[in-house]
Amino acid sequence: MSAPTTAGAPDRVVIVGASAAGLAAAETLRREGHTGTITLIGDEPTAPYDRPPLSKEILSGAWSPDRLPLRTQTDLDALGLDARYGSEAIGVDAADRTVLLSDGSLVPYDGLIVATGVRPRQLPGIPAHTLRTLDDALALKNRLGPGRTLAVVGAGFLGAEAAAVAASLGTRVILLEPAPVPLAHAVGEDIGRILAQAHIDRGVDLRTATTVSEVVTGGIRLDDGSLVEADAVLVAIGSRPNTEWLIGSGLPVSDGLNCDMYCSAASGVYGAGDAARWHNPLFDTSMRIEHRTNAAEQGMAAARNLLGARRPFAPVPYFWSDQYDMKIRAYGYLRGHDEVHITEGSLEERKFTAIYRTGDHLTGVLSIGMPPKSIRPWQQAIAARTPWTLTREAAA
């Protein structure tokens, strides 16, 4: 809180969503000298906590929940926030610049940051487990162990991580996936097959090209009418942005709050994290990224731009995933790629680095079981928009 807020900068900032993106925005506002109020509104009852460990260390029992908070209470106190946990925003009046809370109160703002994240998609039928919050993780953890059967619907990264932990705890796991090769759309067919094989090797009953129609008592019903019996069902079939509360506000919403390259959706309104779709000038495309690192980086970018920086947000997205002994790391935008090339290591040993071409450019890199330094030069090459021909020469 060193420098005073600059002329024209907002005095009252409201951040809706008290998690990775919202917290990063609040910290950045203070670091950049914002001396006005910051109201942090979150519908979960607790201070911001980290989600990636939910499907890893929390589900496995390696961590207790007290390791999850993103900051200590002392650090949060130092930010001087008006923190309203357990408080749901249900509307915005963009003309009057107020946020409406579910208890009927109105919170005025000069600047608004929307960081409300996503929530899991559900299947028809009776409620099943999903995995987004600490309570979700603890409830699922209770259903794992020897002698129990877990059906996981969806073999994306979340479903795969949960399946891996459940299998490691001795649970019988049935992993169901509509695509012929899990994650092929994201990482390519060959790598998708390698990841799938890791589950099969650990005894997971992987059923691809299998569509689930509903969750029923005692398991799930497939679209061919057959029943797959399970003691518990985890539905991991993707998520929806939490943007319904913006309907009627006049803010542009379609698959996320639509923002420009400055993460701005309207005058004084910014989006960050899983809930925000924005134009990434580096890839010249609109994207909405559900990755932990992006949430923090976009929270920072939105806060700076709200204070007047006007810097385009042009990151090389990064994500990681842990499954069994595999550490998967990826930079870039792999979706919609045209070609995958292995630059080092071997697919069979599940130790390799792969680069991705989209159009004429290097757009992504993914490694499994390799040290982080093997991937970083590719991150820089993606950031530099390196043409594929030069990339292949460097890889040769």
Ligand X SMILES: Cc1cc2nc3c(=O)[nH]c(=O)nc-3n(C[C@H](O)[C@H](O)[C@H](O)COP(=O)(O)OP(=O)(O)OC[C@H]3O[C@@H](n4cnc5c(N)ncnc54)[C@H](O)[C@@H]3O)c2cc1C
Q: Which positions lie near ligand X, rule CB under 6 A?
A: 16-22, 41-44, 51-52, 54-55, 88-89, 115-118, 131-132, 158, 242, 245, 273-275, 290-293, 295, 319-321
Is the separation of the CB atoms in 119 and 242 below 8 Å?
A: yes
Rg (alpha carbons) of the chain, rounded to whole number: 22
Please identify, using beta-carbon distances, which residue of 263 and 275 lies nearer to ligand X: 275
CA distances from 240 to 249, 257, 274 (A): 19, 12, 9
Is the separation of the CB atoms in 170 and 143 below 8 Å?
A: no
Please identify, using beta-carbon distances, which residue of 9 and 26 lies nearer to ligand X: 26
Token pair belonging to 122: 């559900």
| CA 164/CA 157 separation, integer angstroms | 10
Q: Which residue has tokens 């589950």?
A: 199
Q: Could you tell me the smallest distance in angstroms from the CB atom of residue 87 to ligand X?
A: 6
Please identify, using beta-carbon distances, which residue of 327 and 341 lies nearer to ligand X: 327
Instruction: Sort 228 into a burial class: Cβ within 10 Å, 0-12 / 13-18 / 19+.
Output: buried
Please identify, using beta-carbon distances, which residue of 158 and 194 lies nearer to ligand X: 158
Q: Could you tell me the smallest distance in angstroms from the CB atom of residue 10 to ligand X?
A: 20
Q: Could you tell me the smallest distance in angstroms from the CB atom of residue 157 to ligand X?
A: 7
Please identify, using beta-carbon distances, which residue of 264 and 321 lies nearer to ligand X: 321
Q: Could you tell me the smallest distance in angstroms from the CB atom of residue 49 to ligand X?
A: 9
Q: Could you tell me the smallest distance in angstroms from the CB atom of residue 221 to ligand X?
A: 25
CA distances from 190 to 62, 178, 259, 342 (A): 32, 17, 35, 10
Amino acid making up residue 297: E
Please identify, using beta-carbon distances, which residue of 45 and 146 lies nearer to ligand X: 45
Q: Could you tell me the smallest distance in angstroms from the CB atom of residue 57 to ligand X?
A: 11
